[in-house]
Structure 1
Amino acid sequence: MNHVSNDDVAAGGARPAEQRLLDVKNLEVTYANGAAAVRGVHLSVDAGQKLGVAGESGCGKSTLALALLRLLPAGTKVSGEILLDGEDVLTMKWGRVRAVRWAGASIVFQGAMHSLNAVHRIGDQIAEPILLHKKATQTGAKKKVGELLEHVGLPAARADAYPHELSGGQRQRVMIAMALACDPRLIIADEPTTALDVMIQAQILRLIEQLVAEQDLGLMMISHDLAVLSDTCDRLAVMYAGRVVEEGPASEVYENARHPYGKALSAAFPRIGDAASRFAPRGLPGDPPDPSALPSGCTFHPRCPVALDSCATDDQALRDAGPHHRSACVHAGSQLPAQPTSASAAERTS
């Protein structure tokens, strides 16, 4: 079984399952076309903890995020458990799910311009869930909107603006304000800074970190950028072909990945001052497998530069790869063999 959990929280000790904010157990998601997008995922997030979920496009990380609040399209099969404050989201009645989506957990999507309604003022859009879920008066909701905007670094007067009148960074701040509107305990941020320039990205990330610390929120941040996640999160879970293939302390996974895929993701980002990464960047040939036609054995083996013959037939479960660090790799118990450059790897898979 592919098992991953965040038993080892940032403070060092494990928390009992009943105290966890989010506890996902053996989550499986299969789309109507037969694509197995999420396969046997276990993970947890505690209040005040920041979990990063990394991987290429198509690895299942956004499907995982949508599954947590039952936002997947009709016809999708979902099994396992998604315990939010001990209550299983998958067995909730629809009325309860609607309440939980704002008051229990909320999502910050990438591309704020596509998530905001272009013909409504942003203040009205932030106020809508407050009026619906908090049963506030118009006056109370307006006051709350102003407080939320100021909390994310925008003047309260910007409530009268339309989305097109704001910059990309300001729109993303609006999305964060909206996510906080009903005081949720868990924030799911799906690529929240992808469309932003580096300076604005840094500001948004610092804002998210500040809000998590001040309000004791749980955060699940999804990104393809291991460098961003390692700088923002306490722990990292690396996904490939619908599974978590590596997890551990964020800095440890980024600096000393123990799965070839995690190592390739980390090496894709050159380090400032590191001549080796600048002049000999490593890439990863090929693409993630089709979720409806997964290869046998370890699903990463067709692209793996250090695969053994057994990897083509033997699946790999997560195993200890160091203190609080796990990897689903046959090499997990030792340092990974030297990996070839991207050119050599391409020749190997051609």
Structure 2
Amino acid sequence: MTTLLDVRDLHVAYRSVRGDVPAVRGVDLTLDAGSTLGVAGESGSGKSTVALALLRLLPGTARTTGRILLEGEDVLGMRWGRLRAVRWTGAAIVFQGASHSLNPVRRVGDQIAEPMLIHRTVPSGRVRGRVAGLLERVGLPATRAGDYPHQLSGGQRQRVMIAMALACEPRLVIADEATTALDVMIQAQVLALLGGLTADQGIGMIMISHDLAVLAAHCDRLAVMYAGRIVEQGPAAEVVDSPAHPYAGALSAAFPRIGDPASRLAPRGLPGEPPDPAAPPPGCVFRPRCAVAEAVCTTVDPPLWPVAPDREGRSSRHAACVHVGPAGRGSVPVERP
């Protein structure tokens, strides 16, 4: 497969009266064309900051370092003219809450057409037909192009946002909590739509959510973030079913499983709160909330180590836990109800 996105040592800090507050700390991500990567974690873990950093959409108070290669070109080094050309055409974002992203006084067809007209990806005489085709692709009649956002349901507005993201045929689509505000039935339809587009068009997709069950069902790989860094990544089903990091295990256990009465009647939560990003604890940042923390965790901030590596040290999964490292047991027992 062709590497579409390669992120290395990404750091993002926000300027504040307390000085620079780190929001993302050394994130590495790789995405191939035709694949879907899920990014999970609690609110404040850095998921959305990573998404916005990929296209330099962060506010002026953010300071970003590292490398973001989109089809081999460094986004952080792009001049503004090149960056504007890449947005929508190379990569596009579907934000959470279409009601806040769509212009309430413009017809949705005009809003879908706008990026095509700006980037001139479609001759002006064919834009209307392209808008109709995009609406039909996302499951809406072409006649809805003349509607205003308030005339559409929440699920329909979200579909319009997806149509806008696909307008210029980008190679990468980032869905940032794109289905969180939808009911279960519409959520399933939108997720199936996104998955079908990835398979049919060979685009790469990053799905950001706090819902591990959704990501496990629709993503090839999963990265779990905590306090601004990735603490576990690997094949999505493996990370959810047999997590190696205690935080990933706590997230997985917090969701009741269909057909499992024990988990439905006694879901497990995670005590405590995420750390203050301006004053993280020494050693492993998850230690204050970890049920299997040891003395070494107070001094060691573990890197991502391979989980159950082969003889050459290779593994499809990695976790940032001393229990997984060279001196560890290779996995962390996760107690389930």
Q: TM-score, normalization: structure 2?
A: 0.94
Cα deviation, residue 280, structure 1: 2.6
Alignment correspondent of 1:8: none
Distance 1:306 1:107, change over 3 A: same
Q: What is the aligned partner in structure 1 of residue 181 from structure 2?
A: 195
Instruction: From the superposition, tell whether residues 338 and 62 of structure 1 become closer, same or farther in structure 2 (CA, over 3 Å).
Output: closer
**Partners of 1:259 and 1:327 within 8 A in 2:** yes
Aligned ranges 1:213-232 → 2 under 5 Å: 213-232=199-218
Say whether 1:117 aligns with 2:103.
Answer: yes
Query: Who is 2:238 aligned against?
Result: 252
Per the TM alignment, residue 276 of structure 1 is displaced from its structure 2 partner at its CA by 2.4
How far off is 1:253 after superposition? 0.4
Deviation at 1:249, TM superposition (A): 0.4
Q: CA deviation at 1:232?
A: 0.3
Partners in 2 of 1:143 and 1:125 — Cα distance? 14
Are the counterparts in 1 of residues 24 and 50 from structure 2 also a CA contact under 8 Å?
Answer: yes
Q: How does 1:59-138 map to 2 (within 5 A)?
A: 59-134=45-120, 136-138=122-124
Distance across 2 between alignment mates of 1:280 and 1:210: 35
Q: How many matched pairs?
A: 324
SS of the counterpart of 2:243?
coil
Tell me how far apart the structure 1 counterparts of residues 86 and 47 of structure 2 sit (CA, whole Å).
Answer: 21
Matched, 1:329 2:300: no
* Residue 279 of structure 1: how far off its partner (Å): 2.8
CA-CA distance at 1:336 after TM superposition: 1.8
Out of 7, 10, 13, the position equivalent to 1:30 is 13
Query: Following TM superposition, by how much is the alpha carbon of 1:327 offset from its aligned partner in structure 2, in angstroms?
Result: 0.7
Aligned to 1:20: 3
- Determine the structure 2 residue equivalent to 1:141: 127
Q: Percent identity?
A: 64
Cα contact 1:148–1:181 (8 A) shared by 2: yes
Deviation at 1:187, TM superposition (A): 0.3
1:292 to 1:121, Cα distance in 2 relative to 1, 3 A: same
Quote the Cα distance in structure 2 between the aligned partners of 1:208 and 1:84: 20
Give, in angstroms, the shift of residue 305 of structure 1.
1.0
Q: Is the partner of 1:298 in helix, strand or coil?
A: coil
Give, in whole Å, the separation in 2 of the partners of 1:200 and 1:340. Answer: 30
Structure 1 CA distance, aligned partners of 2:5 and 2:333?
36
Aligned twin of 1:160: 146
**One-letter amino acid of the counterpart of residue 281, structure 2:** P
Q: Distance in 1 between matches of 2:260 and 2:335?
A: 18
Q: Is the 8 A contact 1:305 1:340 kept in 2?
A: no
Q: CA RMSD in A?
A: 1.3
Partners of 1:25 and 1:80 within 8 A in 2: yes
Compute the displacement of 1:272 (Å). 1.3
Amino acid at match of 2:30: S
Tell me, in whole angstroms, the C-alpha distance in 1 between the residues paired with 2:298 and 2:336.
20
Cα distance per residue 1:78-136 (max 9 Å; x no partner): 01100001000000000111111110000000000000000000000010100010254
| Displacement over 4 Å in runs of 4+ | 338-341
Structure 1 counterpart of 2:312:
none
Aligned partner letter, 1:31: Y
Equivalent residue, structure 1, for 2:166: 180
Distance 1:119 1:338 in 2: 51
- How far residue 339 of structure 1 moved from its aligned partner, in angstroms, is 4.4
Q: Distance in 1 between matches of 2:122 and 2:292?
A: 59
CA distance in 1, matches of 2:228, 2:58: 15
The alpha-carbon deviation at position 312 of structure 1 amounts to 1.4
